[in-house]
Structures are given as structure tokens and as C-alpha cells.
Chain A
Amino acid sequence: MAKRHVIVGAGPAGMHAIETIRRFEPEGSEIHLVCDEPPYARMVLPYYICGDVPESHVYTGGDDVFQKFGVTPHIGVRAERIDPDGKTVTLSDGTTLHFDTLLIATGSSPVRPPIEGLDLPGVTNLWTIEDARRLIEHTGQGKRVVFIGAGFVGMIVLNALYKRGCSLTVIEMMDQILPRMLDAEAARLATDWLAKRGVDVRCGTQAARILQHDGALAVELTAGDRIPADCVVIAAGVRPNVAFVRGSGVEVDEGIVVNERLQTNYPFIYAAGDCAQGPSVLGGKEVHAIQPTAIDHGRVAGANMAGQDVRYDGSLSMNVLDVCGLQIASFGRWDGEDDIVRLANPARPLYRKYVFDGDRMVGGILMGPTGDIMNLTDIGMVKGLVQTGIAMGEWKTYLKETHPLDLRRPYVALGVATRLLKRTLLPLPSDDPRVRPLPAEPDVETDKGPHHKVFVEAYRKVFGHS
């Protein structure tokens, strides 16, 4: 009988695992995909909400993909129970699937804060495509939207609704916005930026309940104030979807605990993505509920499920966020304060911070208007320094004492690129054209664009060749 892989969850971890299994095992095995939703990219929902892309843009897999990878889909059903000893998983439609390897990639779900009125119409999370549709229905030019929670998800939705022309208020329990992405100083600069754009940010306050009032909604704060709203967005954080695993014998801590091969305490059961607690590149095991980790996990798990022996260095926590034109990127242990470089120009605002542990860079924050920072090599270079954990020696002193802005020199002098170019996550290069082919045959002329054409033609006119 053919070897059978069962994948639970069709998010980025699950879908990348499937793709990777098929790179090593093009045929001869079965893949079953179990998911209560069709595969789509949650990350893209904000762009759907603000009208940048149509709904069709968010889907990442359909019958064509399942066919290409030889997947048997079980869409609209949930995994309800795992029997590790019997190597079976029982689904919500009553089916019991036997597996040789199992990947649990069930992701995470939004936290429901203890607030009255969460089920009123016009109150929503933004997590699923259903939420997105609801949000589109309840918002628009001039609509009043109150956010409960100023974390990553809240802010990314806020940005989408800012583009839709909504009137925005943010309520955050902690005394700053983005408490899991920014330190206090950077948060203050970001808050000022938002205030200048008419966003009412209220930190250190808590919503007590949501009520209906005069045909609209209102958020009542514990302090007593009421904020009228047409729509309330709950963004109080997410937690791993691991309830169905508990009691099965698979070890669960904050998430499902996995080793550097993404195996649980049962070597044939793997976990990946938001629900997994895997090795961190900075040491220990952590849940990193972010797209890059989900993809790494999916790929490493997929390779190992297909019989490879791939060991993962660990994931790096990182986030990037557009807050109404202010770009924020943070990496690793950005929250350190003991051994740091901090550089701020509040007027623009520009902010950067590097965090060191010994002579290694272990985290950083870069923040600034799009045009100021997103065309620099610096963001990626911080990533490279943290990712490689390279010993910086005297270059750390250079950054701290001489040129805090001059990240490029240490990066180049330390040969970070040289080191990175030697490695790939899988024992195959990722850049196989078959993995991500262009959607159509490359059209050499139009691909280069009109300005390239003029440039090269002028060159040929003078030199006769190129």
C-alpha cells in the first residue's frame, strides 16, 4: 500500500509541506489534506478589504493545485481526534484516516476577550474570509470603526480601513500600541504619526462592553466613556489551535512541541506553523505565529515526511507592518534594553534600534516612512546579521560608538552574504523554475519594460552590440 501523508490545515505551513513532499516524492505516495476552510492566504485579507485586490486573489489552492500535487482534499471538515498509537485521525464528517505521517498545521485563532456584546452585528474579528466580507459590508468612507486591541492584526486591519476612508479609534489595554512589536519610544513615534492622520489612539484603557445604541454601536470603556461606532473590530491577539490534540499523548506546551526536524514526541507526527512550538534561531523553543515561520516549518516538515533528514536552525521572529504609510519592521529580541544602539529622528520620524547579546546582534527595529527605509538594504541586513548570529567583534563597537547608521559596512566586512550564499534550507535549491514558474512564457521584450528598451537601443546605436 502506498505511503500516506495526512496534512491537517491548508494554511501556508500545510501547503508548503505538500509542495515540498512532492519535490522529494513526486509520486508513489498519497497526500490527504484536511481543512475546514479552502486554502487561502490570511495575510492577503487586509488588501482584499481595502479593495486593492479582488477576493479571488486570496486563494492559494484549488482543484488545479490538488491535482498537480496529487492531493486528496477533505475541505470543510475538521480533524477532531488523533490516535497516535493507531496512526489515525478522525474527522468531523466521521471519516477515520489512517496515516503514515501526519502534519498538524492547524494554525491559530483569535482570542475572544471577556467583553459583553461580541456577538452583536457589526462586531467582528478579522481572521477568516467570512470576517473580511463582514468587515467590507460594515465599513466604508466616513464610517466610525473602533478597534479593541492595537496589536499586529489590529494595526494591519486599521491600515486597510484607513485606506477605505473610515474614521478610526483604537483602544489598547497596554500603555502603548504594538506592544509585541515596538518598544515604548518607537510606539510613541508611531502613535504620533497615527494622530497626525486623524486616528484616535487611546492606550491604557479597556473596553468593558459593546452595546447597541440609537441603531449604532457603542464601545463602553471601563472608565465609563462611550465611543460610538458603526463597526467594532476585535483584535485581542491569537492563540494556537491545539485543543483537539490535547489528551492524545502529543506533547503540548504553548503550542505543539517539535524538534529541529519538526517532529512531535511521536516521530511520525509533525507540527508546523502557528500551532507549533519549535526551535528558535536565538535558542529555546517558541511559538512564532508568522508567515515566514509557517513556511519554513512546512518545508522542513514536508522534506522529513518525504524521507529526508533536514534539520532546522530555528525560526526568527519578525514582523513588518504598514501603519498608514509608516513602515515598521522588527526582528528577534527587539525588546532588549541592556546592550543596544538606538537612533531616532522624531521629526520624520525615523527610528532604529539594534539589540546585542555579547557580540551577536539578536534583534532590531527599523521604522520610517515608506520612501525613507524600504529602499535601503538595512532592513534585510539586520535580518541577515540576526539570522546568521555572526560574531561581530569590533564591528559591534563600531555600530555602538562610531557609526550607528552604517550597517552596511559591518555586514560586508563580516562576510554575512558569503555565509548565507552557502546555505539552503532544504538539500535542494529553492530556485528551481518548476517550483515557481512564471505564469506565462516570458516575453523578453515586455518584461524588460519600455525604459530598458530605450537604454539598450541607444547603447547599440553607438557601440553596435551589447
Chain B
Amino acid sequence: MATALRIDPDKCTGCMQCELACSWVQTGRFNPAASLIKVHIFDEQAAYTPYTCFQCNEAWCMTVCPVNAIAINPVTGAKVVLEQVCVGCALCVIACPFGTAFLRPDHKATKCDLCGGEPACALACPTECITVGETSNGEEWTGRLAEQVSARFREMLEGVA
């Protein structure tokens, strides 16, 4: 049974509790710079959303790795960085077209691993914008958000005298 983050951008308030929780899990400190989930804040379009690895089917990060340092957790389906194996070449960072693979300051790759099935970001989210389900709704929510941001952007352009 796979684990997936389900996201409803309409519920995001931009509070960063997910970033705080994630950074806590990564580092044992509150440090959003180390968070693997990033909140997009688009004030002009009044659009906010948390954004992290979709655990996509193509797994660009995993396939590109020269040392097979990214593997699949059979329980959650998450693609997990094996720290002992990673050499820090950062190919996953440039190969991931979603921008959700990162390189830590200590030169190890890092990405969302769904916290082993119990994502801290979802626990921390105060508005149920991030919840946990069995399948991802990535296609649906990114599509919906794209329409919303585009529409408000167009309204803004049309308004410029």
C-alpha cells in the first residue's frame, strides 16, 4: 500500500508549518532552508501551495544516479536517497524536472522520502491542505493551480494601463 501526499492548494495559508516540520525532521532544528517541502507564495495571484517531490513514475532522480544511491521503499513507494551510497554528484538535482531533488550543504543528495510513511508535514499542516492518501493527486492539483494562477495573472495584465 503506497503512501502519497495529497495537496489542496486552496487550503494553504502560507504558514510554513510544513517547512518547519520537515526541517525539524531533517536537522533537529527549525530551519526552513533545510526543508524538502517548499511553500510557494504568489501574493499577486493570491495563490499559495506546498510543493515537494511527487514521487513521480518516471523517477528521473533515481534513473540518472550513477551509483544507484536512490532506491524505492517497497512499503511507501517513496524514492529514497541512500546516504551511504550517494557521492554528491548532483546529477539528480539537474535531472529532476520538478526541482524537488536537492543537495545538502554536506554534499549529499536529499529529497522527500515521505518520512517512512508518516509525513511530518501532513501532521503539521493546520488546515488539512496536506493530507496522506494512497495515491497522489499531483496531476489534478497542479493543473487546478496552474489555471488559477494563470487566470489571475491575466486579469492583472489586462489591468495595467
Contact = CB atoms under 8 A, between A and B. Distances in A.
Partners in one complex: yes
Interface of A: 12, 16, 41, 43-44, 47, 52-53, 57, 60, 291-292, 295, 299, 318-320, 322, 327, 329, 331, 370-371, 374-381, 383-384, 387-388, 394-395, 398, 408-409, 411-418, 420-425, 429-433, 435-439, 442, 444-445, 447-452, 455-456, 459, 466
Nearest to A370: B105
A415 B118 contact: no
A417 B142 contact: yes
Contacts of A408: 40, 42, 51
Contact of B118 (A44, A295, A319, A448): A448
Interface residues of B, number: 76
A466 B150 CA distance: 36
| Dominant SS among interface residues on chain A | helix
7 contacts: A41-B66, A320-B91, A327-B103, A375-B34, A412-B51, A421-B57, A431-B59
B120 interface: yes
Contacts of A416: 97
A445 B115 CA distance: 10
A57 B24 contact: no
B103 A412 contact: no
A44 B68 contact: no
B18 interface: no
B80 interface: yes
B50 to A, nearest CB: 12
Chain B binding surface, main DSSP class: mixed
B99 interface: yes
Nearest to B47: A412
Given A44-B67, A320-B94, A455 B62 contact: no
B59 to A, nearest CB: 4
B100 A430 contact: no
Given A421-B56, A431-B62, A383 B118 contact: no
A90 B99 CA distance: 45
A43 B66 CA distance: 7
Contacts of B57: 421, 424, 429-431
Contacts of A380: 93-94, 96-101
Contacts of B80: 438, 447
A412 B67 contact: no
Given A377-B100, A379-B94, A436-B62, 5 more contacts: A291-B91, A318-B94, A423-B58, A438-B73, A444-B117
Given A409-B149, A417-B142, A322 B90 contact: yes
